[in-house]
C-alpha cells in the first residue's frame, strides 16, 4: 500500500479527513461519517505509511520519534494540500490527515453568510471565529483573508500551525508563517508581526494567556486581528478569555475586550438534506449594549441580546438553524437536534 494512493482516494471520495490507525482499515471521514475501506492495517504497514508521508513532505521524522506527536502540512500539485498529525498510540504509529483543496471555494458556495464576510472590511479591532474542532473555522478564516487580499491594498500576516490554505498575492500581500518551521510559537510570531508593517494579523489559535494578551494589544494599536477559539457561542467565548487571566487582571481584560472586539462568530456543522456538511452560524456584532455587557461582567446576557438584535446584523444559532430548515436545506429534525432551545425551535417549526 502506498500513502499516495490513500491520499488520491480521499480526493476522489471527497473525504475531509483520513484516519490511519493500527487494527483498523483505512478510514475516510465523509460528510461527518467514517467509511472503512479494505483490510485492517498492521503496525508494520502503518510504520511504512508514516515513513512515506514524511518522505512526501520532505520532513525530518525525529520530532515524532522524540515526542510522539508531530503536526505539519505539505502539498501534492496534482491532488491537494494535506494537514498531517502523526502520532503514537498503544505503542504503534498512526496518522490523521486532513485534505485541503488548493482552490478556496466562494463563501456563498460554502454557505458562509455575507454578514460574516463583512468583518473583512474592518481596518482595526478583533474578530473571533469560534467553534469545536472540525467545525470549519479554518475555512472561514481563509475566506476572510481571501476577501481582504482580493479587495484591499493591505499586508496580511498569518501565523498558522500548520499552514493549510495557500494565498497567492492579489490586490494585497499575504505573508504566511508556520509554527516550528518559520517561527517558534504564536507569542513570538505576534511580537515579530508588529514589526512587519501589517494591516491585518491572523492568529491561527489563541492557545494561552500571553497569546491572547498580545493579540488584544495588537487589535488596540490599530491592526485588524482575526483569530479562533475552541468555544461555542459569544458568551462562552468571552468567559473563556476572561477566565484565562488571574483575578487581578480580569477587569482590565474585560475593558480591553469591550473596546477591541468588533465581532464574534460561532459556527458548527450540520447535515443537509443532500447529506452534505453545512455550516450554521451565530453572529455577534459590537453594539454599545454588547460592549457594556462585556465590561460589566454580564456576558451571560449576550445570548438574549444576539437573539433580539437582528437590526444590528446579529443572529443566534437557533435562528440560523430555523432559517436553513425553512429554506429546505436541512430537515426539521436536524434543526431540532442542534437547537439550544428545543421548545422555541419546536414552536417555530410548527
Q: How large is the angle between the packed helices 317-326 and 342-349, nearest 10 degrees?
A: 30
Query: Helix or strand or coil: residue 272?
Result: coil
% the chain with pLDDT above 90 = 94
Q: Taking residues 289-297, what's their average pLDDT?
A: 98
Could you tell me which of 291, 137, 281 has the C-alpha nearest to residue 202? Answer: 137
> CA 261 to CA 259: how far, in whole Å?
6
How confident is the model at residue 350, as a pLDDT? 85
pLDDT band at 181 (very low <50, low <70, confident <90, very high): confident
The total of other beta-carbon atoms located within 10 Å of residue 160's CB is: 24
pTM more than 0.85: yes
Beta pairing class for 17-20 and 26-30 = antiparallel
> What is residue 163's three-state secondary structure?
coil
pLDDT at 103: 87
- Contact predicate 156/174, CB 8 Å: yes
User: What pLDDT score does 55 carry?
Assistant: 97
Q: CATH for 3-100?
A: 3.30.450.90
CATH topology for the 114-315 domain: Rossmann fold (3.40.50)
What mean pLDDT do residues 5-34 have?
A: 96
Q: Is the pLDDT of residue 317 over 90?
A: yes
Which pLDDT belongs to residue 25? 98
Cell numbers standing for residue 249 = 487582571
Mean pLDDT confidence for 199-228: 95
Predicted confidence at residue 180, as pLDDT, reads 84
Domain ranges of the chain: 3-100, 114-315
Distance between start and end Cα atoms, the chain: 53
Which 8-state DSSP code applies to residue 107? T
Burial 318-343 (b: 16+ CB within 10 A, else e): bbbbbebbeeebbebebbeebbeeee
Q: How far apart, in whole angstroms, are the C-alpha atoms of residue 266 and residue 235?
A: 10
Mean of the per-residue pLDDT values for the chain?
A: 95
Residue range 256-290, pLDDT digits in tens:
999 999 999 999 999 999 999 999 999 999 999 99
For the cut 90, the answer to whether the pLDDT of residue 105 exceeds it is no
- Percentage of the chain exceeding pLDDT 70: 100
Indicate if the pLDDT at residue 44 is higher than 90.
Answer: yes
Instruction: Give kind and range of the element (H or E) at residue 156.
Output: strand 155-160
The sheet carrying 92-100 orders its strands as 33-37, 26-30, 17-20, 92-100, 81-89, 69-75
Are residues 135 and 269 in contact, defined by beta-carbon separation less than 8 angstroms? yes
Give me the pLDDT at residue 173, please. 98
Amino acid at each position: 500500500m502506498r500513502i499516495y494512493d490513500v491520499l488520491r482516494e480521499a480526493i476522489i471520495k471527497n473525504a475531509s479527513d483520513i484516519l490511519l490507525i493500527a487494527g483498523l482499515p483505512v478510514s475516510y471521514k465523509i460528510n461527518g461519517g467514517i467509511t472503512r475501506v479494505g483490510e485492517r492495517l498492521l503496525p508494520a504497514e502503518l510504520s511504512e505509511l508514516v515513513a512515506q508521508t514524511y518522505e512526501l513532505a520532505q520532513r525530518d521524522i525525529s520530532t515524532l520519534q522524540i515526542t510522539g506527536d508531530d503536526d505539519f502540512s505539505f502539498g501534492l500539485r496534482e491532488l491537494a494540500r494535506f494537514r498531517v498529525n502523526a502520532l503514537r498510540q498503544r505503542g504503534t504509529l498512526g496518522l490523521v490527515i486532513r485534505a485541503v483543496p488548493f482552490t478556496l471555494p466562494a463563501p456563498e458556495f460554502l454557505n458562509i453568510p455575507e454578514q460574516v464576510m463583512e468583518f473583512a472590511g474592518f481596518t482595526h479591532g478583533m474578530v473571533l471565529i469560534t467553534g469545536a474542532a472540525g467545525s470549519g473555522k479554518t475555512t472561514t478564516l481563509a475566506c476572510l483573508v481571501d476577501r481582504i487580499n482580493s479587495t484591499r491594498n493591505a499586508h496580511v500576516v498569518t501565523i498558522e500551525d500548520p499552514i493549510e490554505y495557500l494565498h497567492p498575492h492579489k490586490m494585497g500581500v499575504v505573508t504566511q508563517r508556520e509554527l516550528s518551521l518559520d517561527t517558534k510559537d504564536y507569542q513570538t510570531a505576534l511580537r515579530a508581526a508588529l514589526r512587519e508593517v501589517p494591516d491585518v494579523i491572523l492568529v491561527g489559535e489563541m492557545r494561552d494567556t500571553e497569546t491572547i494578551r498580545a493579540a488584544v494589544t495588537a487589535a488596540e494599536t490599530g491592526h485588524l486581528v482575526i483569530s479562533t477559539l475552541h468555544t461555542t457561542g459569544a458568551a462562552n467565548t468571552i468567559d473563556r478569555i476572561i477566565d484565562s487571566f488571574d483575578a487581578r487582571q480580569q477587569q482590565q481584560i474585560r475593558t480591553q475586550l469591550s473596546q477591541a472586539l468588533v465581532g464574534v462568530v460561532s459556527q458548527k456543522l450540520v447535515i443537509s438534506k443532500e447529506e452534505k456538511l453545512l455550516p450554521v452560524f451565530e453572529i455577534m456584532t459590537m453594539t454599545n449594549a454588547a460592549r457594556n455587557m462585556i465590561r460589566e461582567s454580564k456576558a451571560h446576557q449576550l445570548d438574549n441580546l444576539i437573539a433580539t438584535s437582528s437590526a444590528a446584523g446579529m443572529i443566534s444559532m437557533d435562528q440560523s438553524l430555523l432559517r436553513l430548515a425553512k429554506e429546505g436545506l436541512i430537515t426539521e429534525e436536524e434543526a431540532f437536534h442542534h437547537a439550544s432551545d428545543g421548545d422555541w425551535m419546536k414552536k417555530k417549526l410548527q
